[in-house]
Amino acid sequence: MESAIPEHLRTIDARPRLTPRGYVPPFPAWTTRFAEDTNQVVMMYFGVQSKQQLNFQQLEAVINYLKQAQAPGYWTPAEYMDAQGFHHLVITAYWIDQVTFSHWFKESGFEVWWNATEREQEQVGYFLEIACPKSTEFETIFSDRNSPEGIAHLSNTMSEEILEHGYYGSMRDRLPIAQTDPLTGSTLAQEQQRSKSAHRIQIIGNDYLSLIRSGQDWTETKADERALYLNDVEPILNRGMQFLRDEGLAEGCLNCRYMTVLDPETGNVTDKSFGLAYFQDLQHLEKWAKSHPTHVAIFGEFMKYVQRMNFQIKLKLFHEVISVPAQAQFFEYINCHPRTGLINAFNGDKK
């Protein structure tokens, strides 16, 4: 068993680690291993929003850009319906370094397309959310080392079984930067929301903003396990994601989307989903995960699930968590309603 933090990113901790003395994880888990020269990766979320049901072909123009030179190392489409009744199509794309991303952004034609005034005149909304964490500013965890998701498609390999998981605080213990930095953020200030035009809003980044993308894949589940997941576990998960979507601001969650993954060739629905949530900082994410009734219910139901399956499950789980400085963020929204993305932080009910 090894540490989630690779040898070349380990430092002398300036804060106590939270791993219990003599701790043995209750089940195995793995993390990604990247080349030592990996510096700053790029995670991009591009979305289309409409009050009408969107057709998968409405992503065609952007998908064509993703096939140009310096294309992302991996991308995947998804969909969701928000609380305001707007349908969304979302592409998640990853680049292994900023140079490659910048070249793609400019040379593929996407930058011209995105900045064109025609986008503001269409009958749909668009958003572009980009985060560029350094290798020390993100962590991943997987329940199956042979099933990469997200940024793992760009990694060299998976680790051996890791120690830091299965206890509250393990997420922070897996994050290299947290060895020396408390990662304490602040609330978004009104001046961080800027109108570039009547239809285009940009949000200036916030230090230590934390993003979690947490996914489920039940493709290989059969009979009893599939029924148990879909009938018992998933509704509890859905309820937790709806809470963060509708009432999360009081918990420091600026926005949450619970999405269904689509087949990238056909647009058909798959047996995969993920929640994507932005938190004010890691501490707010940790607090919700540790003590809020909605997450306690999710964790409790999952533990009952794996126990009933005698810890022999085909369900695959993963997450990636980042904590990034303001200059490593970009958020822009075109014709989007006021509860979209980080605009929600300025318009939602903070209670």
Q: What are the strands of the beta sheet with 138-142, ordered from one edge? A: 138-142, 316-324, 209-217, 269-279, 253-262, 74-81, 87-95, 42-50, 125-131, 329-334, 200-203, 193-197
Cα–Cα distances (Å) from 10 to 4, 47, 51, 272, in that order, read 10, 36, 48, 33
Cα separation of 337 and 335, whole Å? 7
Partners of 134 in the beta sheet? 40
Cα separation of 86 and 51, whole Å? 4
Residue 319: active-site member? yes
CA neighbours within 13 Å on the CB side: how many for 319? 15
CA–CA–CA angle 232, 236, 239 (5° rounding)? 145
Catalytic residue, candidates 165, 284, 319, 337: 319
Burial environment of residue 222 by CB neighbours within 10 A (0 to 12, 13 to 18, 19 or more): exposed
Which residues carry out catalysis? 319
